[in-house]
Each structure stands twice: as structure tokens, then as C-alpha cells.
Amino acid sequence: MHASSCRVGIIGAGTSGVYLASTLARQGYQVDLFERAAQPRTDGCGILLISSGLEALQKGNPRLCDQLLKAGSPAKKFEFRNLRGGVANSEQATYGPNEIPAMLIHRRAILETLLDDLSPQLLHLNAEFASVTQTEQGVTAHFKNGQSWEGDVLVGCDGIFSKVRDAVVPNIEVSYLGDLVWRGVVKDETFCPDGDFIVYMRGRGIYSNFFDLGQGQTHWGFFIEREQSESERGTHRPEDTAIPPQELEKLPHDARAVIESTPPQDIVTNFSYDIDPLPQLHQGRVVLIGDAAHAKSPSRARGMTAGFEDVLALAHHLNQGTTIEQTLAQFQAERMPIVHEYQLSSREVSRKTGRTGKKTQVKAS
Ligand SMILES: Cc1cc2nc3c(=O)[nH]c(=O)nc-3n(C[C@H](O)[C@H](O)[C@H](O)COP(=O)(O)OP(=O)(O)OC[C@H]3O[C@@H](n4cnc5c(N)ncnc54)[C@H](O)[C@@H]3O)c2cc1C
């Protein structure tokens, strides 16, 4: 397959979609990246980007990896505390001489670094994917604004609530993991010193983590176990997004103070979901990567990394394959066992630490 005559449409400008677009564009493919929002979503909070995620960026473009190593804080210590603040376990992170460290980094820094590597004319904003049609000769994506795109391959990178997924495996339900989650980023250099990742272990219906993001910033996550009401099933967040004070009071005073000092506009709230392993990752000329293909519980911090690994694998098979069908089948054969293991093991860790999964239909955002 000649890259220069292959037209690739990508739906979703999250980290998976932007990295795929820049990687394929550099290899000479004709790329169009479609995002429903008016701007790429550079909100979000801190991410633990594990070493294999940075390696996947380094293999695709070493400059991206070098830039991210400067934009966050290398993870140095993981400390597990009980809800009284007592330390149950503390582990120093150790890295081999040539090993890339895991990074504690703001999602915004990752996405902006990836966007800097992308020609702006490839990105089409306010383009909400609605449906797809395909023939043996090609694939057409239809958008809510009435426009359409025609090409050779369509890649769904549109996240956990993927619409493109309907063309690959219809009617997938998301599973509620049992937690309502608040995350925030706040100016604070003292609670989490250089490279620290602090976990308040699950107990009394809550769980919380804090980590240094470098540049004087701290990320925190606060999870409460809570049933969803009938009307909340499949929604992104509850109507009332305030943290219940009686739940916050279960944390020690110093940890609570970090959360309470965060400006409300820097806090995001969502119900936590994953999806079951999909029986296939492509159908004809449509293929899924990232959370659209394998959204998982954050318990093993594999989500973003798995999307970057998908990008490398898809680019590799596109370069090797002779037909689209053969290329996507090879991509699926390589990636499916790996992402299924990530999904199942992440869910297992969640369950062991007290969360449950309940299937639910997705509601429109
Ligand atoms: C609480 C929590 C903590 C996490 N912590 C970590 C962590 O520490 N480390 C880690 O590696 N991962 C973590 N993750 C997972 C990680 O955030 C995701 O795996 C990753 O961001 C997925 O990227 P993506 O590009 O595949 O999807 P997304 O980031 O969801 O991007 C999808 C994009 O598609 C767009 N889109 C959606 N629908 C359409 C449409 N119809 N048309 C056009 N565009 C559309 C959206 O606007 C969005 O821009 C965490 C997740 C959660 C929920």
C-alpha cells in the first residue's frame, strides 16, 4: 500500500487520535483528523504515564518523548497510607540505566506537545461524527454538520463513549465501576514533594491519590463509592457535582486541605466506567484504537499508554500490508490479546480493591 495514495480519516482529537494523525502524516499518508469540539480538549488533570507509554512515543518520534520528560515530574516514590495518614508501604521507583522513567504529568502538557507536532490544516474542528457507510472501494464518514469525508480507512479514536464503535461492534454497553470521581490540579509544592505519588488506600467508601506534577503543581483524585440512580445510569456525571463534605472529612486534614484549596474551575467530576473486551477491533475499513477500543479502569494506569501503543502497531501494519482488510486484520491479531489483558487485569484490580461493575447503556452527553 502506498502511503501517499492512502486516505486516512481519524475521528477524535484526544491523545490517541492526535498521535496517530501526526505519525501517519509524517509517513506520507493523506490524513484528516475530525474533532467534535470547537477546540481540542486540553482540560483534564494529571496522568501517570508509565515507561512503556513514553517508549511508544519515543519510537514514533523521539522529540515528543524528550519534550514530555521536561514537562512533568519523574515518578520517584509510591507511598500507600491509611485514612489516618499512617504509612502502610513506601516504595522507591527504580529505573535501569537506559530505562525511561514513568512521568507524572498534566494531560494538557501531553496533548499540547502532540498538537505542536501536527500540521494545523489536518485538524477539522466542530466536526461531530454521526455515521459511516462503506463499500469494497472505500469508506465515507458523515458528520452532524452535514459534511462528509471519503477515504480508504476510518479510525475511531473517539473515546469510551465512541460512536464509531457502532460500525464495528454495535450496542456496546459501558460498565459502571462503582465510583464517582473528582480530580483536580492545584498550586502546591509541599504536600507531594518532588516525584511523590501518595495513595490513601480504599476504606470507609472512599479512595484518594495525590501526585506531584512538577512546576509547583499537585494533582489529586478523590473517589467515593456510590450507586447510580436510574436517571444517572450511562451519564457522564451527576447534576450536583459538589464533593459531599461528610465524605471529604474521612481524609486526614492535610490531604483534605489540598483538595479544598483547589479553584472549582480546576476540578472535573465523572462517573467511572470501563467496557468489556470487544470481540473485534475492525469491521471492513473501520478500525478502533484507544479508549474507543478498550476503555479500562484507571487502576493500572494503562489507558493512555495503550492508545500510543495502538498507534505504533497500526502505522506499522499499514506500512506492511497490501490491502486495507489484510492490514487491519494484522493489527487486530497483534493488539487484541494485549488490550484484552490490560482491560481484564485493570478491572480485576478495581474489583479487588472494592469496586463493582454494572452494565449500562450510554446516554447522550
Ligand atoms: C479517573 C481517570 C484517571 C486516569 N488516569 C490515567 C493515568 O494515570 N494514566 C493513563 O495512562 N491513563 C489514565 N486514564 C485513562 C486515559 O485518560 C485515557 O485512556 C486516554 O485519555 C484516552 O485517550 P483517547 O484519545 O483514546 O480518548 P479521549 O481522550 O476520550 O479522546 C476522544 C476524543 O474524541 C472526541 N469525540 C468523541 N466523540 C466524537 C464524535 N462523535 N465526533 C468527533 N469527535 C468525537 C472527544 O471530544 C475527544 O476529544 C485515566 C482515566 C480516568 C477516567
Tens digits of residue pLDDT in 210-226:
999 999 999 999 999 99
- Secondary structure element (H or E) that encloses residue 197, with its range: strand 196-203
Distance 137 CA to ligand 1 centre (A): 31
Q: Checking phi first, is residue 116 left (phi over 0); if not, alpha (psi -120 to 50) or beta?
A: alpha
Could you report the per-residue pLDDT of 56-87, keeping only the tens digit for each? 999 999 999 999 999 999 999 999 999 999 99
1 pLDDT band, cuts 50/70/90, is confident
**Please, which residues bridge with residue 11 across strands?**
34, 156
**Please, which residues bridge with residue 143 across strands?**
129
Which of ligand 1's atoms lies nearest the C-alpha of 16? Answer: 25
In 3-state terms, the chain is what percent helix, strand and coil (to 5)? Answer: 35, 30, 35
Residue 364 has pLDDT above 50, yes or no: no
Out of 291, 347, 353, give the residue to mutate to test ligand 1, the one with the largest number of ligand atoms within 8 Å of its CB. Answer: 291
> DSSP secondary-structure letter at 203?
E
Could you report the per-residue pLDDT of 320-334, keeping only the tens digit for each? 978 999 999 999 999
357 pLDDT band, cuts 50/70/90, is low
Could you report the per-residue pLDDT of 11-70, keeping only the tens digit for each? 999 999 999 999 999 999 999 999 999 999 888 899 999 999 999 999 999 999 999 999
Joined grid coordinates for residue 160: 469510551
Distance 87 CA to ligand 1 centre (A): 32
* pTM assigned to the model: 0.96
Which of ligand 1's atoms lies nearest the C-alpha of 34? Answer: 43
Question: By alpha-carbon position, which residue is closest to atom 35 of ligand 1?
Answer: 12
Joined grid coordinates for residue 249: 472529612
In order of their start, the domains of the chain are: 3-46+107-173+275-360 (3.50.50.60)
What is the rounded distance in angstroms from the CA atom of residue 297 to the CA atom of residue 102?
19
Out of 32, 45, 47, give the residue to mutate to test ligand 1, the one with the largest number of ligand atoms within 8 Å of its CB. Answer: 47
Give 364: exposed, middle or buried? Use CB within 10 Å, 0-12, 13-18, 19+: exposed
Residues with a CB atom less than 6 Å from ligand 1: 11-17, 34-37, 41, 47-49, 128-129, 157-159, 163, 181, 183, 290-291, 298, 301, 303-305, 307
Distance 16 CA to ligand 1 centre (A): 8
Looking up cell 481524609 gives: 251
- Output the CA torsion sign for 218, 83, 207, 263: negative
Question: By alpha-carbon position, which residue is closest to atom 4 of ligand 1?
Answer: 298
What is the rounded distance in angstroms from the CA atom of residue 336 to the CA atom of residue 65?
25
